[in-house]
Structure 1
Amino acid sequence: MERFASTRAKAEHALKRALLTIEEDSGGELKPSMTLKQLGKRFLETRRELGRSEGTIETYGYAVTAHITPRVGDLSVAEATPERLQSFLTTVEKESGPGAAKNCRSTLSGMLALAVRNGALAHNPVRELERITQRKQRASTAIPLEELSEFLKKVRNDADLKRWDTVELIEFMLHSGWRVAEVCALTADSVDFAKGTASVEAINVRVKGKGIVRQEFPKTEKSARTTPLPPAAVTLLKDRHERLKPNTNLLFPTPLMRLRDPSNTQREIRDRRDALGYPTLSTHAFRKTVATILDKAGLSATEIADYLGHENPSMTQDVYMNTLKGAGKAAQIMGQQLKGLI
């Protein structure tokens, strides 16, 4: 094998590249000479074929189109060495932040794992890269129980939150501990008003080119759960259904009766948190508040995780069998603690 170029250095580089990308006929469908741009496209196709959520595919797709393809897309699979990939991720972190760099690292790991499975690489070079440390952000904190009455009074008197129809959404989150995307996707069909339960069966997500869609499965397997609700929460949902059913089956739509965007809802609360007197307030604060109330009431970590729908791989089968019992106790406690407030 030989290669020619205008200089010795260029010729040596061309020869080394050719030697690296020698392909055997017995290899898989992916080859060492395939570019990362081509591999990224194939990777996204496999994610769709595997039925990954639109949100997950969009996250991977952004890393491929916004960062990987423009910067290292012309590199072949064989040229994707740890040194080159580390330099790429360092640049992304400096220019776009650690979040973007972590997303690119995860996407590259999946792409090159696909190459390994198809015989184009012997091992995944991403395993040798430095871990990216996310900078700690100012975290939201639970609302102290003794402040809940005054907090809810401020929420109910806030003109913007009333105009956005966000007040009762906050009240329901404080009762249920649901994630905001779960609340935004809730329909009357998922509520058993007689039994006093609501089931997490979907979440709202934003998909590029489609807008807000109701994804017919929740965030994780453990997120799919049936939550026993305190009576006040059931009454809140029943009243909303009676009021909204001529226009929609959704229980927390936008004022225009459309699917509610979880990100917009979070932004609404951020916009008003200083006025409410809670500068770190977010929708996650409501889940923390529920967890704090249940913890102080003596529930175990397992029972609290069951109520909130936390994923916990260490849970045993016996724990799962006791899920409904633990959630029922949690609902009773929430009803007692919030009685008269909501």
Structure 2
Amino acid sequence: MRYIAYARVSARRSGTVRSFRSTPVTQSRCSAQSQLARSPMARPPLDIGKHGEVTLTKLAPNKWRARCRVRGLNGVTQRIQRDTPAHVARDSHGAAAKASLMEAVAAFVQLDGGGDGEVKPTTELHQLVVLYLADLDKSDRATRTRDTYHRVAALLVGALGKLRVQEATPRRLGGVLEKLAKAHGATTAKQAKTILSGVMANAVREGATLRNPVRDMDPIRVTPRNTAEGARRVLTGPELGELLYQLDNSIAPLPTLKSAKKDHTTRTVSQWAKDIDLLDPITLLAATGLRRSELLGLRWQDYDPKARTLRVCGHVIRSNRDGLIREASTKTVSSARLVPLPAFAVDMLDRRRDESLRPSAANVEKVIFPSETGQYRDPDNLAGQWRRIRKAIGFEWVSLHDFRHAVGTLLDEAGLSARIGADHLGHARVSMTQDVYQARGRVHHAAAQAIDAAIRR
């Protein structure tokens, strides 16, 4: 026969009295009790950084002991207890002991991972975004990069709401980025993820959390701009020639601006392209594959007519704080380079220099392509001018960046190595040139000829 003992405990001021009784049970009941003890329906774990129910035990008049379980940021649960402090003369119901326990719990959480800096587990994430931006502004990151992240950070702060460091799980942060992707696109969400990663890395350094949850999130996929057939269309050599010819000779009427209330111009596309100085910049893009910001940052001192080269050493951007500026730096270290020029580009630059078109303003370096007022030319305005007339000359699908892809593909078709293409385009990695800027899916008849020659031996 097996027994289970039951106890009844009653507490009195004079002390504690215990009484016991034993009850015989069958083997089957013992087995049931044993299975119940092994049941997975155990007490649920405490949340990270939280404590359980506080138990008060009276030790003596005005003397209590408060106890509870607390789970640290490392997931380990410990028991903490505190008695009524010695300096407290009256503690009738244990309030002083409980207050002392709560201080000990807070200290334990801080020591376990709460950090001794400004960032705590309870710090709201939007506050850390502000700190991230302050550090970003002190860095040597490019002006355009800082402006972009300030814009994205404003969207991120609104999406984060009051979420705190200790509540930042991969699932919760993933939900925030998913909303941003739906509202503003995958690229914005990807940039927001970069900010979040920096924010949570700061929280880890400050000891507010043990792991950066952004590392455990799924990557954000940015869908490339494709055609209906699934492959990016790239300008061919003959198409580039036709585009420049149409831009120089088209008699198509100039398209009316959608935002214009009155537009009674009788100019043709080619006349307008010459009037606003669009033909020469497009010609040089087709000849070099430069970025538009690099193109508008070119100065006459960067042109060497004898060597037939252009030195790329700066770019024009629009800063949120300073407006249009020319930065004496490039996108990457590899972007600073000497670019050889084809003959038609040399002819255009020599003519342009002799004509001294659009002299630069006194406060602006003598750039090759200034604005109508002699100031730096806005890269976005240049893109808008191209978009206005590209459909009229039969190239609606071509953006200014497509000239860059076209040049990369032409170099590849000429049999030049990917390293030469990367040097010409200013890519830090040769793989970037191969994967993005050289067209795929082309028919290579040389491959068939090589196979034929090998088999016919």
Tell me the TM-score range normalised by the shorter chain. Answer: 0.7 to 0.9
Query: 2-side partners of 1:116 and 1:191: how far apart?
Result: 50
Other-structure match for 2:280: 168
Q: Tell me which of 65, 70, 76 is aligned to 2:158.
A: 70
Corresponding residue SS for 1:263: helix
Q: Tell me which of 100, 107, 126 is aligned to 1:37.
A: 126
Contact 1:252 1:260 in 2 (8 A): yes
| Distance 1:245-1:283 versus aligned 2 partners, 3 A rule | closer
- Is residue 107 of structure 2 the alignment partner of residue 107 of structure 1? no
Query: 1-side partners of 2:226 and 2:393: how far apart?
Result: 18
Superposition map of 1:141-290 within 5 A:
141-157=233-249, 158=269, 159-242=271-354, 243-244=356-357, 246-248=359-361, 249-290=366-407
Query: 1-side partners of 2:148 and 2:347: how far apart?
Result: 38
Contact 1:201 1:217 in 2 (8 A): yes
Contact 2:276 2:372 in 1 (8 A): yes
Question: Could you tell me which amino acid in structure 2 is paired with residue 181 of structure 1?
Answer: S
| Partner deviation per Cα, 1:49-104 (whole Å, 9 max, x = no partner) | 22111111111111211x22122142222222212211111111222222221121
Query: 1-side partners of 2:165 and 2:126: how far apart?
Result: 10
Tell me how far 1:251 sits from its aligned partner.
Answer: 0.5
| Distance 1:86-1:33 versus aligned 2 partners, 3 A rule | same
Other-structure match for 2:110: 23
Higher share in strand: 2
Other-structure match for 1:301: 418
Query: 1-side partners of 2:188 and 2:340: how far apart?
Result: 38
Tell me how far 1:168 sits from its aligned partner.
Answer: 0.4
Other-structure match for 1:338: none
Contact 2:48 2:72 in 1 (8 A): no
Query: 1-side partners of 2:133 and 2:390: how far apart?
Result: 38
- Is residue 224 of structure 2 the alignment partner of residue 136 of structure 1? yes
The TM-score with structure 2 as length reference comes to 0.60
Query: 2-side partners of 1:149 and 1:225: how far apart?
Result: 26
Contact 1:35 1:77 in 2 (8 A): yes
| Structure (1 or 2) with the larger CA radius of gyration | 2
Other-structure match for 2:208: 120
Consecutive unaligned residues of structure 2, counting only runs of 5 or more, are: 1-46, 52-70, 74-105, 250-268, 433-457
Query: 1-side partners of 2:430 and 2:198: how far apart?
Result: 22
Tell me how far 1:185 sits from its aligned partner.
Answer: 1.0
| Distance 1:272-1:175 versus aligned 2 partners, 3 A rule | same
Size of the aligned set, in residue pairs, is 303
Query: 2-side partners of 1:269 and 1:70: how far apart?
Result: 35
Contact 1:182 1:203 in 2 (8 A): yes
Question: Could you tell me which amino acid in structure 1 is paired with residue 123 of structure 2?
Answer: M
| Partner deviation per Cα, 1:204-249 (whole Å, 9 max, x = no partner) | 2222233222122111111111112234323423433341474350
| Distance 1:210-1:127 versus aligned 2 partners, 3 A rule | same
Contact 1:138 1:280 in 2 (8 A): no
Contact 1:33 1:78 in 2 (8 A): yes
Question: Could you tell me which amino acid in structure 2 is paired with residue 143 of structure 1?
Answer: L
Tell me how far 1:118 sits from its aligned partner.
Answer: 3.2
CA RMSD, 1 decimal: 2.8
| Distance 1:121-1:244 versus aligned 2 partners, 3 A rule | farther
Question: Could you tell me which amino acid in structure 2 is paired with residue 292 of structure 1?
Answer: T
Tell me how far 1:15 sits from its aligned partner.
Answer: 5.4
Query: 1-side partners of 2:397 and 2:316: how far apart?
Result: 24
Query: 1-side partners of 2:382 and 2:351: how far apart?
Result: 21
The one of the two structures with greater contact order (alpha-carbon pairs below 8 A, sep at least 6) is 1
State the identity as a percent. 34
Higher share in helix: 1
Tell me how far 1:26 sits from its aligned partner.
Answer: 6.0
Deviates more, 1:122-131 or 1:177-186: 122-131
